[in-house]
Amino acid sequence: MIAYLPETSPEERAILRAATEGVQVERLGQGSEAGIWLASSVSRPGVWHAVRDGRCDCEGAQAGRYCKHVAAVELATAGQREAHRCQSCGHFGYDVARFVEHIGGVGDGVAVYRCADLAACFGRAGL
């Protein structure tokens, strides 16, 4: 069980769960499938969820939550991005990824930049 800080957003919790629970991701082939990723289910071994454009077909995502499968793809692709400054701790680097936070869990969301390694981020922020 992971203990979360009270200020931890649903997106940050999903990232922590993706990293600590060992969600595996695989990118599908070329052409029309190039933007599709598969993310493993932790609760149902052998089941894979399709992730495309920040959307997942798992039950949690279908209910409007930011899921750990999308978070796992975000972590896997973080190294393919340009450097940014983390809005939580101020760290600047290639390991800072763009996430979409949904205010109150609904709406189009707001793009924010956070460290992919939240443990290091919390340490730099003195949390």
Q: Does the structure show a pLDDT above 60 at 32?
A: no
Determine, yes or no, domain membership for 56.
yes
Judge whether 69 and 58 are in contact, CB under 8 Å: yes
- Residue 26 phi, psi (nearest 5): -140, 135
The pTM of the full predicted model, rounded to 2 decimals, is: 0.58
- 64 versus 105: the higher-pLDDT residue is 64
pLDDT band at 112; cut points 50, 70, 90: confident
* 8-state DSSP, 80: G
Determine, yes or no, domain membership for 5.
no
In sequence order, the 6+-apart residues with CB closer than 8 A to the CB of 44 are none
In sequence order, the 6+-apart residues with CB closer than 8 A to the CB of 19 are 72, 75, 118
The token duo for 124 is 């730099």
**pLDDT per position as a tens digit, 54-93:** 899 999 999 988 899 998 988 888 755 556 778 788 776 6
Q: Does the structure show a pLDDT above 60 at 17?
A: yes
Q: Which of 41-50, 96-105, 108-117 has the highest mean pLDDT?
A: 41-50
Instruction: Indicate the average pLDDT of the chain.
Output: 77
Determine, yes or no, domain membership for 2.
no
Q: How many domains does one find in the chain?
A: 1
Determine, yes or no, domain membership for 85.
yes
Give the range of the structural domain holding residue 52, as residue numbers without chain letter.
10-124
CA atoms within 13 A on the CB side of 32: 0
